[in-house]
Structure 1
Amino acid sequence: MQTEVRKLPATSFAVRLGDYLELCKLKVVSLIVFTAVVGMFLAVPGMVPLDKLIFGTLGIGLAAASAAAINHVLDARIDAVMRRTRRRPLPTGHLTEAQALAFAVLLGVVSMLMLWFLVNPLTAVLTFISLIGYAIVYTAFLKRATPQNIVIGGAAGAAPPVLGWVAITGDIHAHALLLFLIIFTWTPPHFWALAIARKDEYAQVNIPMMPVTHGIEFTRLQILLYTILLFIVGLLPWLTGMSGWLYLLGAIGFGGGFLYYAVAMMRSDAPELPMKTFSYSITYLMGIFSFLLADHYVPALLG
């Protein structure tokens, strides 16, 4: 077995590249970049400047990938124990912690230089704060300290649309903060659904996720309460005049779907429901941000 692990780093370039890409958590980063890009387009009435769009997207994406790679390094030991993470590059020995950390630093430095010199300094500073918030404050401290870890640490994950907005305008607008608030409120029910599904694994590695410390029933109630709050928060872009009727229809539809799953989890112990809720939460976020974008441009095109 030891011989097999030693041979893994000697595999093909494509496999090694795949290992580094896995450090980036591309599915998570793609969602981060999507919300950031929507923030860019919502910041202006017409087309965003192409250079800001390209370098802002790349810079924010590279910073998110850097944070993800640092997360792999800090969580390497618990990843080796948890069933869903034990095949990641560090637990398998495909990459060393030093290699992963060097990769993370390279991505972070490139992203900061790109954002500072090719976008604007404020975007670079806010992106750096977000990177540290997720990679260090959440992963190294909050995750292991309190069952409210995802609530407090959710601020870092909610930053991308603000970063996108600032990349285009150079300042923080109240409407950008509404986008932040939507993701901030979405994060707890999104992640707690996954935590219920992986409760035993988190307990095995002594991570105090809410289902571990307070039980599944209490966590289900918190998911429902946060989903109700999210439904209300999701209406704020329409209530404040930021968006119109097209967005309102999307917010009600996707928000109603999320509420359906939250209520279903309260009424049923079906083991597949937590992961279905988790999967739908991603659909919700993509859907509601898509409607924000559509509402921003479609009325003008039709008019």
Structure 2
Amino acid sequence: MKSQASTTDKPTAVVRDGWPIRRYYDLTKPRVVGLIVFTAIVGMFLATNEMVPFVRLVLAATGIGLGAASGAVLNHVLDRNADAVMARTQARPLPTGAVGTLGALILALTLAILSMLLLVMWVNFLTAALTFASMIGYGVIYTVFLKYATPQNIVIGGAAGATPPVLGWAAVTGSVSADALLLFLIIFCWTPPHFWALALYRREEYANAGIPMLPVTHGMRYTRLQIVLYTALLCAVTLLPFGTQMFGIVYLAGSVILNIGFIYYAVRLYNNYSDALARQTFSYSIQYLAMLFGLMLIDHHAGSLVALITR
């Protein structure tokens, strides 16, 4: 559960006076978790032609969300020194001292235990196992072993962030199909252009924190070229579900429009760079993913929606 961890570049607002629970809540990266849960829920509905049972929907979404929140808190703990250096993260609860390291670790462990209990007891073991793997992939493997070791950290670590729709799929079917893996592939290819757009205008902060993001190690122009190439790859991958007849014309038309928008931003960014344009590209990438998965949901259940409206 990693790639979607950058859904906002705004500093976390931490108020030292007030209810302590708010400070712990901020540690869970609620906006990021919200997008993770959304794509997981879409995965649930895409896994069946019927309505997902409400109780299973709530239990699975809650379990997946708790797991994502646990990984986010653990990421905060392990990144606390780098966060203290970067302007966009200096106001987070741990660098400011609003929350202690021990308290954050207890929260991460509590959320992880609740997530596993919920998923194992009331959803299925496969979903629990995949959620745990994603949690460790982001909270430990990416943060400890990849983030500070290679400029390809986002590419490799993106696997953890691409799992939410697969988790949702497994929660409903108890298995992982080729269609579920296509959803994984889309988010996996989306992660690099999304995160590198952020890294472009935050490059000095990453350099000061000792994080070898691509703009720091390979320069601005090379990174912008990679954004164009990965965006082109993403656009091609998003057409695969139509080619396999997973989705129909509604998805195809909408995805083409969204892809044109992403390519437009990527090419502009390459030819006429500015920090403002990089911010716009980053912002569009978030909207792109949310709308793309919304299109999937609409297309998959279009017949049911029409029947409901005309009833």
TM-score by length of 2: 0.93
**2:162 maps to which of 155, 158, 163:** 158
The one-letter amino acid paired with 2:18 is: S
C-alpha separation in 2, matches of 1:86 and 1:300 = 48
Indicate if the aligned counterparts of 2:45 and 2:297 stay in contact, CA closer than 8 A. Answer: yes
Q: Alignment partner of 2:49: what SS? A: coil
Structure 1 unaligned runs (5+)? Answer: 1-7
How far off its partner does 1:47 sit?
A: 0.2
Give CA-to-partner distance per residue, 1:40-99, whole Å, 9 cap, x none. Answer: 000000101222101100000000000000000000011111111001000111001111
C-alpha separation in 2, matches of 1:268 and 1:293 = 35
Higher relative contact order (CA 8 A, sep 6+): 2
Indicate if the aligned counterparts of 2:241 and 2:247 stay in contact, CA closer than 8 A. Answer: yes
**1:32 maps to which of 31, 36, 52:** 36
1:113 paired residue number = 117
2:18 paired residue number = 12
Indicate if the aligned counterparts of 2:200 and 2:275 stay in contact, CA closer than 8 A. Answer: no
**1:208 maps to which of 212, 235, 243:** 212
1:126 paired residue number = 130
Give CA-to-partner distance per residue, 1:186-227, whole Å, 9 cap, x none. Answer: 000000000001000000011000000000100000000000
How far off its partner does 1:301 sit?
A: 3.4
- Structure-to-structure mapping, 1:71-86, within 5 angstroms: 71-86=75-90
C-alpha separation in 1, matches of 2:304 and 2:60 = 25
C-alpha separation in 1, matches of 2:150 and 2:94 = 26
How far off its partner does 1:117 sit?
A: 0.5
The one-letter amino acid paired with 2:96 is: T
How far off its partner does 1:297 sit?
A: 1.1
The one-letter amino acid paired with 2:190 is: W
Is residue 234 of structure 2 the alignment partner of residue 230 of structure 1?
yes
The one-letter amino acid paired with 1:169 is: T
* Greater mean deviation of Cα atoms: 267-276 or 85-94: 267-276
**2:53 maps to which of 49, 53, 58:** 49
The one-letter amino acid paired with 1:299 is: G
C-alpha separation in 2, matches of 1:270 and 1:257 = 18
How far off its partner does 1:298 sit?
A: 1.5
C-alpha separation in 1, matches of 2:48 and 2:189 = 25
TM-score by length of 1: 0.95
How far off its partner does 1:24 sit?
A: 0.6
1:102 paired residue number = 106
**1:140 maps to which of 127, 139, 144:** 144
**1:294 maps to which of 281, 298, 301:** 298
How far off its partner does 1:12 sit?
A: 2.9
**1:185 maps to which of 185, 189, 192:** 189
How far off its partner does 1:260 sit?
A: 0.5
The one-letter amino acid paired with 1:90 is: L
The one-letter amino acid paired with 1:245 is: I
The one-letter amino acid paired with 1:223 is: I
The one-letter amino acid paired with 1:114 is: L
**1:255 maps to which of 259, 283, 294:** 259
The one-letter amino acid paired with 2:283 is: S
1:196 paired residue number = 200
Structure 2 unaligned runs (5+)? Answer: 1-14
